[in-house]
Structure 1
Amino acid sequence: MALEVWQIVTFLSGLHLFRGIEEERLKWIAGQMTELRLREEELVYEEGQEPNNLYFIFEGRVQMTRYRRGAPEEEEMLGFLDQGDYFGLEVLEARTARRTSVQTTTAVVLLCFSAEALNEVFAQVPELIPRLDLMIASFHLMLRTNLDWLNPEEYILYIARKHPFFLWARLLPLILLITIVVGLFLGLYGTLGLSLFLILIAGALAVAGGVGLWIYVDWSNDYYIVTARRIVFQERIVLLYDSRQESPMEQVQSTEVDRSYLGQLLGFGDVRIRTYTGVILFQAVRLPAEVEKIIQEQIKRVQSTLRQAEIRSIEETIARRIGLLPARSGPPGEATPAKPAPTPMQRFMADLFHLRYEYGDTIQYRTHWWILISRIWLVTLLLLGVVFTSLFLLVKAALGQMPEGFPVVGAFLGLMLLGLGFFLRWVYVYIDWHNDRYLITSDQVVDINRKPLGKEEQRAAPIRNILSVEFKRLGIIGLLLNFGTVYIRIGDTLFTFDNVYNPSEVQRELFHRMAVRSVRERQQQAEAERQRMADWISAYDRLTRR
């Protein structure tokens, strides 16, 4: 039976794209949509086909795939889309083929906009244009971005970077500086000579290009992500730092938008997402009010899903107790997605200077590299002094310019022994720094301290016993380089993660692990309560049958 207009209007009013549009216009929009019903495992469209419709899932589930880059014979899973999701955004772009394939996994009811209908809708409802432009940009970025930690079945509903204004705000001073430097070199061309002039110009451009590339990579490595299950902020600093701040949808308490005057002019702002463990900040994202609507829509979906799951769980528990369903043979297993093992290069960098590294459900922190430099700079200078002095002696001896009777061999051997001592000291300090690690697992915090050629000390404590977590950044260097000490009070014992990078992130991660454990314990308590209720109802059922 075909859907009624009021059903479509009710459906559209719950979607972020149509939020704030009057009911009369929603009725008109509903009239522009066509209904499509498909059976399980039917192909909606295939990658490479010409796009002709934008689809909204009124009922059912579909899966989206694409051919893997570099291996066109293999398909890559992009995730499942459910009721309220939409797909087929390629229809909004001229001369663009389908970049993904979509197939149903259940019987589905789809509501479709043809390209012609969309043009009419945009003419009558122009506020849809920037909203869909935002989602097209998100769709393209999702296809270009490889996130190894993401569950293959978890579809990315929204992904973005910080507004490009902040990239140019960092690049323009560099461009201005290199322009001034090149201008100075041009002014000094007559006194420098052609060879020196070209060397200086090439060096300045190479340095500026390297810094500019680093700025771009640093900007492009930060992502704000919304999926059906969670909210994620991923931050990376090349070769130094890799952080992922996330919260399950069910732990989100509220959202708010903050826009400066400049942000209002350029169309960007901050979205603050408050959770049980702190605040996740989507900083300087495009159209922040629309991003907030996306998050709010997912929160309502998750809340509705949890309520329905709780009701089904209660009904199932009672039905099993009174004999309407067979007893469960064992506790339900929870499928955990396999996490990718670190590559050899990742292990190498983690063991070299990486300050934070995540593998499995364990996060490893090390003391900041500034602490290593403060301990090693003097011996490094002495070692370099010995090396250069040895080279100087060798060159002088080879040219026959040493004073007569000077003990070249003895001096060289003495320098070699001295250099060996400095080198061994350098290695000792590095290994001592390298061996101090701080671990956060799913249920423990661990402090590992191992001296080179000495004993290893390891302290561990359960996360459930944490009473408080504080951090301090001390000194101008700590503030500039963003490192400090995290203090973890567990009973009468004080754990310290000394001089770790971004201590506020360490604190947030600990709070997150505490919240996850708390949620798990509440779920276990709820299950125990359901079983107790089922016992009462089962006893009542037996009494009524006597």
Structure 2
Amino acid sequence: MPDVPVRVALLKRMHLFRGLSDVQLSSVAEAMQEEIIGEDKASVFVQGTTTDFFYIILNGSVDILLTVKSKEKKLASLFRGDYFGEQSLLKNRSHNASVRASKGTILLKLYRSKFLELLKSIPDLQQNFATMMQSRSLARKLRFPWISENEVIYFLSRRHIFMLYQAMIGPVMAVLILLGMVGLSAVFQSVALALITGFLLVLAMLWGLWQYIDWSNDYYIVTNQRVVNIQKVVAMYDSREEAPMNTIVSVNSESDMFGRIFRYGTVIVRTITGEMRMQFAPRPKHAVAMIEEYLLRAKDVRRQNDEEIMRDAIRKKLGIVPLATGQPAPAAPAPVRPKQKQATLGGAIAEYIREIFYTRKESGGTVTYHKHWIVLIRDVILQTSVLLGLIAVYPFWFYFFETLVPLALGSIIAFLIVVTVVWWVYGFLDWRNDQYQVTPEQIVDIYRVPFGDEDRKSAPLENILSTNYERSGFFGLLFNYGVVKIQVGSMDFSFDNVADPPSVQKDIVQRVNVRQQKKREADMAAERERMAEWLAMYHRTLGEIDKQAGQTRNPDSG
């Protein structure tokens, strides 16, 4: 059974308890009850029910499961140092998901009355939990589609509310002045002044609404895998900057005098390639503590995995193999062949058109992107206009002027139609020939001039240091296209004018994570093999030395 110092050591590393003294941490640890899970996939609580406990995972793991229309979906897995159950405890709400624990998991529980007593007696703890509750509530409301499986949002915030108040000073002052002018127009019975003032009042209100939406669209996010900075300007700009945990070098915060008074500041996340600045973030020291915690946790998880794999490798080298259970492996299910739909002429034509004009296509693990179709329209709009004009003029000319002018002029128009068609095809090929690819091993940027040279640039996925995307301008936001920027060492890649840049960035990040994991596993496997061979040789040498020593002591034996 873990004693109080073990619990205190765990609490010290958790951002929820950052800033508490050793005495306060000890009081929290002593108030905890312990629950050991005796069977696999044991239910901790069920969606729709309420409990009187706040849970912290001391060892093991739990799965968070959501049931919608009788279908169960796994939202995430939580591990040592994670926590859950706060919604039911603090807001007396039913749980919005079910939790199941793996066998051997040790949970630390705080009962409601003791938990509320601690919150009242320790102000810093209350503030930390308030920040956590706000983050999780906002995360459930927004439900970002780019969050991956087993990724959990722990900190989610807009810029500090002080920034909203500051931005609203202008609109509020304008509204007050214009309301006074409305009163004057009533006193002087001036219809013109009333109309002008009313119009300006509507503009001032829209200005205030725009300021609020602009404030509410910017988010700072910390998950167990990355730090994210989302910046949006209404109808003008949309950007998401990310820093994976394994690229973060250091993190710190800075605040001016007003920031210290109102508890806001700038969180500076330094990575291998530069820095990310989360300006006017509320409670910046809390955000820094959270990032530091997950940096340490990621290192601990990797270390534990490496140690376990190393032990297995040494056992294998020494011939210590785990006993077989005696149960045969289950037979693989027979592959189910999907029913093929009967091809039709209309379906074949539609498929051919999609094949020509696609902007994203995945085949054999490789994703190929073309520029957005709005770029194609922009590139061929002139050719299309000229071609439609010539096609419209040609029969008109031939009908009315066949006997009045030489037929050669009609031939010239026909020739211009052919030239314009070639011009249009050139513009289409110029659009289609520019490709961006993400393979399981690398990213590729292909620039090809129709009937000309080809420029191909590529880089291994494991060398990618950072990615971010931008959607600029009204049309970029309206038609959902923009630029995905990828930094690879000192070289920059740019996927220009691609459709749905957030999804393109997500494709790249997912493949980078898979590639880096495979490379790390391969490197570690080679290192483990080498070390295990040395240790096995050392073990065999010791055995030989002991054997020789025994023979020396007993020369007549054997």
TM range (shorter): 0.5 to 0.7
For residues 100 and 496 of structure 1, do their structure 2 counterparts lie closer, same or farther at Cα, with a shift above 3 Å needed?
closer
Distance in 1 between residues matched to 2:137 and 2:199, nearest whole Å: 38
Q: Distance in 2 between matches of 1:352 and 1:178?
A: 50
Q: Secondary structure at the match of 1:246?
A: strand
Q: In structure 2, what is the equivalent of residue 190 of structure 1?
A: 191
Alignment equivalent of 1:140, drawn from 137, 141, 145? 137
User: Does the residue aligned with 1:318 lie in a helix, a strand or coil?
Assistant: helix
- Structure number with larger C-alpha Rg: 2
Counterpart-to-counterpart distance in 2, 1:299 and 1:265 = 29
Rate the CA distance shift 1:137–1:423 in 2: closer, same or farther, 3 A: farther
Distance across 2 between alignment mates of 1:448 and 1:423 = 25
What residue is the counterpart of 1:393 in the other structure?
Answer: none
| Equivalent in 316, 320, 323 of residue 320 of structure 1 | 316
Paired residues of 1:51 and 1:96 also in contact (CA < 8 A) = no
- TM superposition shift of 1:52: 1.7
Distance 1:295 1:113, change over 3 A: same
Task: Give CA-to-partner distance per residue, 1:421-460, whole Å, 9 cap, x none.
Answer: 99999999899678756566665454444668x6684523
Give the letter aligned to residue 97 of structure 2.
T
Answer yes or no: is 1:297 the counterpart of 2:293.
yes
Partner Cα separation in structure 1 for residue 448 and residue 149 of structure 2: 39
Does structure 1 conserve the Cα–Cα contact (< 8 Å) formed by 2:228 and 2:241? Answer: yes
The equivalent of 1:19 in structure 2 is 18
Q: How many residues align?
A: 470
- Kindly report which structure 2 residues correspond to 1:464-543, keeping only aligned pairs within 5 A, or say none: 497=494, 521=519, 524-539=522-537
Which of 229, 235, 238 lines up with 1:233 in the alignment?
Answer: 229
Residue 236 of structure 1: how far off its partner (Å): 5.4
C-alpha separation in 2, matches of 1:304 and 1:275: 20
Give the whole-Å Cα distance in 2 for the aligned partners of 1:232 and 1:423.
47
Paired residue secondary structure (2:54): strand
Show the 5 A alignment for 1:144-223: 144-170=141-167, 173=170, 190-191=191-192, 201=199, 205=202, 209=206, 219-223=215-219
> Is 1:281 aligned to 2:277, yes or no?
yes
Secondary structure at 1:250 match in 2: helix
AA of the residue aligned to 1:56:
I
Q: Secondary structure at the match of 1:304?
A: helix
Secondary structure at the counterpart of residue 78 of structure 1: strand
Sort the Cα spacing of 1:363 and 1:140 in 2 relative to 1 into closer, same or farther, 3 A. Answer: farther
Per the TM alignment, residue 307 of structure 1 is displaced from its structure 2 partner at its CA by 1.7
The one-character-per-residue Cα deviations of 1:515-539 (angstroms, maximum 9, x if unpaired) are 9977865653343232223334445
CA drift at 1:306: 1.7
Structure 1: distance between partners of 2:120 and 2:463: 58
2:122 to 91, 110, 125: 125
1:358-411 deviation per Cα after TM superposition (whole angstroms, max 9, x unaligned): xx98696969x99x99x999x79x99xx9xxxxxxxxxxxxxxxxxxxxxxxxx
User: AA paired with 2:115?
Assistant: L
Partner of 1:325, secondary structure, is: coil
Q: How does 1:35-184 map to 2 (within 5 A)?
A: 35-40=34-39, 41-68=41-68, 72-91=69-88, 93-170=90-167, 173=170
The superposition leaves residues 6-35 of structure 1 with CA deviations (integer Å, 9 ceiling, x where unpaired) of 333333233222233222233333333233
- Residue of structure 2 equivalent to 1:270: 266
Give the alignment's Cα RMSD to 1 decimal: 6.0
1:320–1:326: 8 Å Cα contact kept in structure 2? Answer: no
Write the letter of the residue equivalent to 2:526: A
Distance, in Å, in 1 between the alignment partners of 2:50 and 2:128 is 23
> In the alignment, what sits opposite 1:461?
458
CA distance in 1, matches of 2:309, 2:147: 28
Question: CA contact under 8 A between 1:91 and 1:115: conserved in structure 2?
Answer: no
CA distance in 2, matches of 1:291, 1:184: 46
Amino acid at match of 2:270: R
The 3 A distance-change label for structure 1 pair 156 and 177 is same
Q: Which of 228, 244, 249 in structure 1 is aligned with 2:245? A: 249
Identity %: 28
Give the letter aligned to residue 304 of structure 1: D
In 2, Cα distance between equivalents of 1:518 and 1:87:
30
Evaluate the alpha carbon distance shift between residue 179 and residue 239 of structure 1 in structure 2; reply closer, same or farther with a 3 A threshold: same
Between the aligned partners of 1:487 and 1:142, the Cα distance in structure 2 is 29
Matches within 5 A, 1:333-412: none
Measured after TM superposition, the shift of residue 137 of structure 1 is 0.4
> What TM-score comes out, normalization by structure 2 length?
0.64
CA distance in 1, matches of 2:358, 2:165: 32
Counterpart Cα distance in 2 of 1:77 and 1:461 = 36
CA distance in 2, matches of 1:423, 1:217: 47
Is contact 2:368–2:435 with CA below 8 Å preserved after alignment?
no
CA deviation after TM superposition for structure 1 residue 498, in Å: 9.8
What is the distance in 1 between the residues matched to 2:164 and 2:104? 45
Deviation of the 1:489 alpha carbon: 9.7
In 1, the alpha carbon distance for the partners of 2:258 and 2:370 equals 37
Displacement after TM superposition at 1:487 (Å): 10
Q: How far apart are 1:207 and its partner, in Å?
A: 10
**Mind listing any 5+ residue stretches in structure 1 that lack a counterpart?**
328-347, 355-359, 387-417, 470-481
1:217/1:523 CA distance change after superposition, 3 Å: farther
Distance 2:278 2:9 in 1: 30
Shift of 1:296: 1.3
The answer to whether structure 1 residue 310 and structure 2 residue 306 are counterparts is yes
> Scaled by the length of structure 1, what TM-score is found?
0.65
Q: Render the CA deviation track for 1:302-344: whole Å, top value 9, x for unaligned.
A: 22222222222222222222221279xxxxxxxxxxxxxxxxx
Task: Call closer, same or farther: CA 1:83–1:316 in 2, change over 3 Å.
Answer: same
User: What secondary structure does 1:274 align onto?
Assistant: strand
CA contact (8 A) 2:153 2:224 kept: yes
1:279 & 1:221 partners in 2: Cα distance? Answer: 22
Matched ranges for 1:442-457 at <5 A: 443-449=441-447, 457=454
- SS in structure 1 at match of 2:49: coil
Structure 2 CA distance, aligned partners of 1:489 and 1:19? 36
- Asked if the contact 2:57/2:108 (under 8 Å) is kept, the reply is yes
Change beyond 3 A, Cα 1:263–1:534: same
Q: Tell me by how many angstroms 1:216 deviates.
A: 5.1
Structure-2 change in CA distance of 1:236 and 1:424 (3 Å):
farther
CA contact (8 A) 1:277 1:512 kept: no
- What is residue 397 of structure 2 aligned with on the other side? none
